Amino acid sequence: VPTIGVLALQGDVREHAQALEGAGAATLRVRRPEELERVDGLVIPGGESTTMWKLARSFDLLEPLRKRVEAGLPVYGSCAGMIMLADRIQDGMAGQETIGGIDMTVRRNAFGRQVDSFESRVRLTGMGDTPFDAVFIRAPWVESVGAGVEVLGRAEGGPNVGRIVAVRQGRLLATSFHPELTGDHRVHHYFADLVRRAMEEE
Ligand code: GLN
């Protein structure tokens, strides 16, 4: 059974942990480098990426997170977690840093310019034909991706139709929306499978 950590600095930690347990994983709240060492995969919840960056730095987690991502740790980031996995941010706070790992530019608060939060149907490659009722909260979108990044889903309606909202690069997965807030945990199942396969490869 894989142990999947949930970065517990901020955000929907309990909802992610429950969804992961439903997908057959053991979970661990990660606040310290020693806890990070023990996990086979990690979820970075939504929240506020500037706060999360500052907290990660003051908890001495930023460099350990970067090192484990470089070493191939599977990580799934939702919303602010997506921002944390981006190599580049637009509309970030001055000096704002990320963990990085996905060769993409993410625009912070992109949808939030029109509305703070909304729901929209989104289909994701490899996660079934039924669309997700995706919940977006001051969400980023992916402005551009490098050649190694697979686009898994795009906004399907409204003024922002076609915007990239889900991506994968190797063992790194990110969505603009919050699947932990609905009963539909296909993203967590997909990620738990990714973690299991990564463990088999090691
Ligand atoms: N707007 C937030 C940020 O910049 C993300 C919002 C969220 O995670 N729900 O980090």
Report the binding-site residues for L-glutamine: 47-49, 108, 137-138
CATH of the domain at 111: 3.40.50.880
pLDDT tens for the chain, 202 residues: list them: 999 999 999 999 999 999 999 999 999 999 999 999 999 999 999 999 999 999 999 999 999 999 999 999 999 999 999 999 999 999 999 999 999 999 999 999 998 765 688 899 999 999 999 999 999 999 999 999 999 999 999 999 777 899 999 999 999 999 999 999 999 999 999 999 999 999 999 8
ipTM for this model: 0.95
What separation in Å is there between the alpha carbon of 145 and the centre of ligand 1?
19
Range of the domain at 116: 3-201
Structure tokens, 161:
């139709």
What is the Cα–Cα distance from 73 to 7, expressed in whole angstroms?
A: 13
| Residue 85: Cβ within 10 Å count | 25
Report pLDDT for 202: 87
Binding-site residues from annotation:
47-49, 108, 137-138
Parallel/antiparallel/unpaired status of strands 102-107 and 86-90: parallel
| Per-residue pLDDT, 160 | 87
Provide the H-helix boundaries in the chain.
13-22, 33-37, 49-58, 62-70, 80-85, 186-201
Find the 46 Cα to ligand 1 centroid distance in Å: 6
**CA–CA distance from 128 to each of 85, 142, 189, 191, 198 (Å)?**
25, 22, 12, 14, 21
**Number of domains within the chain:** 1
Question: Residue 80: CB within 6 Å of ligand 1?
Answer: yes
